[in-house]
Structure 1
Amino acid sequence: CGVDATASHRELLRSSKPSLYTNVDCTALVAAVVSRQVSVVRLLLQSGGPTDIKVSLGAWSWDTTTGEEFRVGAGLAEPYAISWCAVEYFEDSGAILRMLLQHLPLETPHYGRTLLHHAVLCGSTGAVKVLLSCGANVECPVKTMKTEFRPIHMATRLGLSATLQSLIDSGCDLNSKTDSGDTALMICAKYKHEECLRVLTGAGADFGLVNISGQSASSIAGSNQWSRGFQQAVLDAIKVGRIPKSSNVSVLSPLMIVAETGDVEALKAVIGSGQFNLDHQNENGFSAVMVAALKGHVEAFRLLVYAGADVKLLNKSGETAITLSELNQNRDLFEKVMLELALEKGNRNAGGFYALHCAARYGDLDAVTLLTRRGYDVNVPDGDGYTPL
C-alpha cells in the first residue's frame, strides 16, 4: 500500500506508568513501544525499519559527576535509544524488549549507565529479569567522578526487594562494596529497608564487614535509630532457617543478637545450628548468657545454660552471668533455673550460685535431700558468709 513505516508524525502518546500524555514527533515503532503493542512492534521490525533512533520520552535524569538521580517527568530526560524506552515503558511479557535487543546492543552506555541500571532505577523487575536472561552484566558498575556502585547497591537503596532477589539469583556479589566501602547490607541499614535486609540475610550476605569509616550494618542501624527493625529482620530470617553469616563475630554475632532480644525460637535455631561458640565474649567481655541475664530474659538464659554456656566467665567489670541476674527484679526465676540445672544435671561448678543454699532458702526439702545425698556440704558458706543452715 506504500505506507512509509519509518516516517515521523505527530502522535499523542499516553501511558499510565510512567505517566505520559503528550504530543510528540515520533515513528510508528516508538508509538508502538510506548503503547506496548507487541504485534505492531514485531511487524515493524520485520519490515526492516531503522532501530538506531533516539527518543525523548524518559522520566529520569542523573548527574554524571555525583551519580544522583532526578525524576524529571516523562518526556523531559535526555534522548535515549528505543531499547531504553522499552525498559521504561516495559510491556509485561517482555516480548518487546527481547525483540529490540535482537537489533540493538545490550551494554551500550547512556551517560555512564547501562540498560540494567536503568531497569533498576525504573523499578521494573520484569525488565531486569529480561535483561539478565539476555546476558546483561550483573556486576557492571556506575562510575562517576565521586561515586561507584553496582546494580545490587541501587536496588537496595531504592528498597526494591524483588529486583534485588533477581540480581542475587543471577549470581551478583552479595558483598560487593561502593566507593565508600558500603555493602548492600549497610545500605539497607542506612535506608531502613527491612524486606531487602531479609532477602540479603537469607542469601548469605556477610554481616561481619565494615566500610572505610569502620561502620558495620549493625552500627549503621544503631546510629540511624533503626536497631529494632534491624534486629527483627535478622530474627525473621533465623526463624525460617536462614542463620545470618558473619565473618567476624566481633562485628556482629547472631548469637548475641538473639540473646539480647530474648527470642527463644530464634535462639533455639542458632544454638541448634552448632555454628557458634556459646562462650564467645564481646569487646566488653559479655557472653550471650551474660546478656540474657542482664536483659532479664529468663527463658533465653535457661536455653543457654542447659546448652552448656559457662556462667563462671567474667566480663571486663568482673561480673558473671549469676551476679548480673541478681540485678533483676525476677532474680528468683534465674535462681530456680540454676537450681533445676543442678538437680537435673548435677552441675556443681556454677561460680557464684550455691544450689544447696538456694534450695534451703526456698524450703524445698526434696531438693535439699537430693543435693546433700550428692555430697553438697551443709557447712560451706556462700559469698556472703552464710551456710545453708
Structure 2
Amino acid sequence: MYRDCILWADNKSMDDAEMAEMEALEAMAALLQASAYSGNADNIREILERGTVGPDAADSELTTPLMLASLAGHIECVKILVEFGAYINSKRSSGSCALFLAAQTGHLEIVKFLSEVGALIDSQCRTGATALFIASQNGYLEIVKYLSSKGSSCRLGLRDKTTPIFVAAQNGHDAIIRHLACCGADVNARRQDGSSPLWMACQMGHFSAVQALLDLGADVDSQRLIDGVTPIFKAASKGFKHIVDLLLKKKPDLGVQQSGYSPLHTAAYFGHFGIVQALLESGANPNLLDKDGLTAAQLSARRGFDSISRLLAIRQGPAY
C-alpha cells in the first residue's frame, strides 16, 4: 500500500469500480517511485501533473520518491519533486531522510540543493547517524566539508558513542580525519567499549589514518575497556609492522596489559618476527611474564616459531 493513495478500511465492502480505482492509484504510486529511482524526470512530471497521487507517495518502509531520487543521484528528479511540494525532511522507518541518502551515496549536488531548500542538516537516523556521519564513513570528503561549513555537528554519532571521526578512522579516510579535527572533533573520543579512533585505525591496518591521528595528538596508550588492549598491542597482534614502527616513535607503554599479555607476547605468539625485533629494539622487556607465567620466548616456542624464540632467548640472556 502507498501512503498517499486513497485507502479503504474494509476491502470487502468495495465494489469493482472502487477496487479498480485503488489498484490504479497504487500502480501510479509504484510508477512514481520507480521513475524517481531510475531517473525518469518526464514520467515524474507527468504523474504529478495529473494530481492523482502526491509527490510523497511512500512504500511500506515510508520511502518516498524524493528519497529514491536522492539515493540514486538524479538531481533533476529531486528538483521536480521539490517543485511539486515533496516534504524534504520526511523520514523512512529507519529514520533516514533524503539528505542522509544523498550523502550516503556521494551525491554532492543533491546534498547542496536539499540543504538550500530547507533540509535539516543534522537530522538523525534511529541509530543516531547524520548525513555528516555517513559521508565520513564512506569517504566523501567534499560532502563532509560542505556539511561542516553549514554547521553540521562533528560530535553527533551513534547511540554507542561512535563519532564521525571514529568511522573515518575505521575506514582509513585520513583527509576526513584531519578536516573533522579542524572542525572541533575530539580525536580521542571513545566508543562505548572504550576503543578510540586510533585503536580502530590500528585494528584495521590503516597507516595513513594512524599517522593523521598521531599528528593530531591522539593518545597512543588509549585502552579498550573490556581488556585494556592498546593500539600498539592490536597492531602487533595483527602483524602491521609499518604501524607498529609509527607507534613506537611515540614511545607507547610496552608492559603487560590488563589482558595479561604485553605487545611483545602477542607479536611472539602470532609469529611476527619483524615486529618482535622492532619491539626489542625499542626497549621491550623479554623477561616479562604473561598471566600464565610465560615469557614471550616460551610462547613462541610453543607455537613453533623457533627463529623468534631463539631471538628472544638471546635477548633474555642467561636467565632463560
Given the two structures, how large is their TM-score scaled by the length of structure 2? Answer: 0.55
* Structure 2 counterpart of 1:109: 157
* Structure 2 counterpart of 1:41: 111
Matched, 1:11 2:68: yes
Q: Show CA shifts across 1:86-128 (max 9, x none).
A: 223332xx23212223333221231211112222233322322
Separation in structure 1 between the aligned mates of residue 145 and residue 230 of structure 2, nearest angstrom:
31
* Structure 2 counterpart of 1:128: 177
SS in 1 for 2:249: helix
Equivalent pair of 2:155/2:164 in contact (CA under 8 Å): yes
Deviation at 1:230, TM superposition (A): 1.0
Structure 1 letter corresponding to 2:240: H
* Structure 1 counterpart of 2:13: none
Number of residue pairs matched by the alignment: 214
Change (3 A) 1:245 1:38: farther
* Structure 2 counterpart of 1:80: 129
Change (3 A) 1:225 1:177: same
Change (3 A) 1:117 1:287: closer
> Could you tell me which of 211, 215, 222 is aligned with 1:169?
215
Structure 2 letter corresponding to 1:127: I
Please show how residues 1-389 of structure 1 align to structure 2 within 5 Å: 8-9=64-65, 11=68, 13=71, 29-30=99-100, 32-54=102-124, 80-91=129-140, 94-101=141-148, 102-112=150-160, 113-144=162-193, 148-179=194-225, 180-207=227-254, 209-226=255-272, 228-231=273-276, 233=278, 244=282, 315=318
Deviation at 1:40, TM superposition (A): 4.2
Change (3 A) 1:11 1:213: closer
Structure 1 stretches of 5 or more lacking a match? 16-23, 57-77, 236-242, 253-282, 292-314, 318-389
Separation in structure 2 between the aligned mates of residue 14 and residue 233 of structure 1, nearest angstrom:
48
Deviation at 1:156, TM superposition (A): 0.8
Q: Show CA shifts across 1:192-233 (max 9, x none).
A: 2222112112333343x220244211122112222x131355
Change (3 A) 1:184 1:27: closer
Q: Show CA shifts across 1:260-283 (max 9, x none).
A: xxxxxxxxxxxxxxxxxxxxxxx9
RMSD: 3.8
Deviation at 1:164, TM superposition (A): 0.8
Separation in structure 2 between the aligned mates of residue 197 and residue 212 of structure 1, nearest angstrom:
20
Equivalent pair of 2:128/2:158 in contact (CA under 8 Å): no
Between the two proteins, what is the percent identity of the paired residues?
Answer: 21
Q: Which is worse superposed, 162-171 or 6-15?
A: 6-15
Deviation at 1:316, TM superposition (A): 5.3
Equivalent pair of 2:100/2:130 in contact (CA under 8 Å): no
SS in 2 for 1:103: coil
Separation in structure 2 between the aligned mates of residue 89 and residue 189 of structure 1, nearest angstrom:
27
Equivalent pair of 2:103/2:135 in contact (CA under 8 Å): yes
Structure 2 stretches of 5 or more lacking a match? 1-44, 46-54, 57-63, 74-90, 290-311
Structure having greater relative contact order (Cα 8 Å, sep ≥ 6): 2
Separation in structure 2 between the aligned mates of residue 136 and residue 111 of structure 1, nearest angstrom:
17
SS in 2 for 1:149: coil
Separation in structure 1 between the aligned mates of residue 103 and residue 130 of structure 2, nearest angstrom:
12
Larger Rg: 1
SS in 1 for 2:185: coil
